[in-house]
Amino acid sequence: MRDFIVALLPAVLAGWFYFGWSALLILIISTASAMATKLLWDKLVGRPVGLRDGSAIFTGLVLGLMLSNQVPWWIPVVGCLVAVVAGKELFGGLGNHPFNSSLVGWAFLAISYKDILENYP
């Protein structure tokens, strides 16, 4: 997973360069939300708590990169919650999910909050 995260860094830097601090803030919120959701889920189901596999960081970065820098702060939080829980953990965790968990979160947001995601200034 570390290789994938490193591969996303040029896109993260480009987003920061072209769209400013607001894009970086969305990425930070998204990544932190995915990590917190993963930790809470592991604690809830009684698994060893940890982020060593890097999948939560990857999920947060990918979802954050798919969002506009103008979305409200709670949009990446909701998206990461759905991505980690419904997109990955309910199927058994890393390697067992049939769909990309970031896309599950984005699809949920696109259906539930269509007006927010479609409005780009």
Domain range enclosing 13: 2-118
Please tell me the pTM assigned to this model: 0.91
Per-residue pLDDT of the chain (121 residues), as tens digits, is 789 999 999 999 999 999 999 999 999 999 999 999 999 999 998 888 888 888 999 999 999 999 999 999 999 999 999 999 999 888 887 888 889 999 999 999 999 999 999 887 6
Total structural domains in the chain?
A: 1
Q: Which amino acid is at 28?
A: I
